[in-house]
Amino acid sequence: MDQLLVALDVDSADRALKLAEHLRGAVGGYKVGKRLFTLEGPSIVRALVERGDRVFLDLKFHDIPNTVATAVAAATSLGVWMINVHASGGRKMMEAARDAAARAAAGRAAPLVIGVTVLTSMNAQALAEVGIAAPVMDHVLRLASLAQEAGLDGVVASPQETAAIRMACGGDFTIVTPGIRGGAAVVSATDDQERTMTAPEAIAAGANYIVVGRPIIAAEDPRGAALKLRTQNEEIRTKT
């Protein structure tokens, strides 16, 4: 199921590569985030790309436009399939990221560049603490629209905002949803997600891709958990 991306949030390249091998064919790609990238560096991305895997590099770049542009160019050179930046970095930063990916692709297909709206761990109180008085939904839609205006391919957003973003930004705008829980999930007692849905709910709401970490990698049978989600999502797709 191409829509299912597994977050390789583990503590070694060996563990990540074994998981990827075990799950290959059952999922659409892998997310490499800050934990694994900090521990193992670009080599883990190269190893997955060389195996033919789609890699979503989830480092959420957020800096001045030139710094983000050089980081995106470096990520593109690794052969990643998708990269994200924080939409709150502003239009110029997002435009710089978009342009850098296109230049660095050098004739190859450029990676998807998507903007992070509001982290799924945040709620209205958390936004208020950083000076944002708008409701979560309003702020997410503002950032999604800004990302679209800046020429990004899509956004990362909570599944709870997916339908509204789809309505506002249209059918060609890519929506990636983390915060997937329930169903085949194994939920940790330290789970920090606030705005969540099950995988079938997220797909039904209009998500292009869902990112699932702990519900799969912490399962007793990760491949079985992935295949269960795949079946649930395909059932939803046939009904819509």
Q: What is the pLDDT of residues 28-86, one digit of tens each?
A: 999 999 999 999 999 999 999 999 999 999 999 999 999 999 999 999 999 999 999 99
- Catalytic (active-site) positions: 60
pLDDT at residue 235, as a whole number: 62
- Beta carbons within 8 Å of 223's beta carbon, 6+ residues apart: 22, 23, 26
Q: Backbone phi, then psi, for 85, in 5-degree steps?
A: -135, 160
For residues 177-198, give the mean pLDDT.
55
pLDDT band at 15 (very low <50, low <70, confident <90, very high): very high
Q: What is the pLDDT of residues 122-161, one digit of tens each?
A: 999 999 999 999 999 999 999 999 999 999 999 998 888 9
Beta bridge partners of 32: 57
Token reading at 198: 């099950």
pLDDT at residue 215, as a whole number: 87
Look-up of token digits 């999922």: 27
User: Is there a contact between 22 and 227 (Cβ–Cβ < 8 Å)?
Assistant: no
What residues make up the domain containing 205? 4-239
CATH of the domain at 155: 3.20.20.70
The number of distinct structural domains making up the chain is 1
Query: For the whole model, what pTM was predicted?
Result: 0.90
- Average model confidence (pLDDT) for the chain? 90
